[in-house]
Amino acid sequence: IDKTVGNDTYFIVTWSDSTYPPEIFLTDPKGKNYDQTDFVFDTTNLHMARLKISGTAEAGDWIYKIHNTHTGGAQVLSMTVTTRAASLTVPPVTVKSYLNKDTNNYPNPMIIYAEVSQGFLPVIGANVTANVEPASGAAVKLELFDTGSGADIIKHDGIYSRYFTSFNGDGRYN
């Protein structure tokens, strides 16, 4: 969590198949631990739990672990974090990610974009990494650049990009 955000912070865990929730472990940057007993389980959506952080969430790296308890096999587990600006006078740093097209055929490359801004201004000199997860196999870490070369069109416009070519075949990539 960046120092420009932290108010109204929610950690939302969802799961796809089981009515039994996964085990959830979360640690803030100062070492405070949370588990599934701290989460509120939604009675209207049996596949979701959320944790609201009181006050302003600690800036820094939060660590989470989600353990599947579904005995019927694999299921999709996800963690979503939402938060608002920590100050009314300092706009938060935001990232919008997108691809150059919705679908692709192996082995054609795709372009991954991340637009990094604070308010209406581009953030220059950020370290931006995309994590691409294939349907099977290890995730690929891809550093994105705002240099005006390669897949990046304009230098220092706050849009970081790079060609992704590490496909291992057709299928879904996240």
**What is the C-alpha to C-alpha distance for residues 17 and 75, in angstroms, rounded to an integer?**
6
pLDDT tops 80 at residue 59: yes
pLDDT in tens, 9-48: 999 999 988 777 899 999 999 999 999 999 998 878 789 9
Are 101 and 135 contacting, i.e. CB atoms less than 8 angstroms apart?
no
Q: How confident is the model at residue 70 (pLDDT cuts 50, 70, 90)?
A: confident
pTM above 0.75, yes or no: no
Question: Are residues 119 and 39 in contact, defined by beta-carbon separation less than 8 angstroms?
Answer: no
pLDDT in tens, 80-121: 999 999 998 999 999 999 999 988 888 889 999 999 999 999
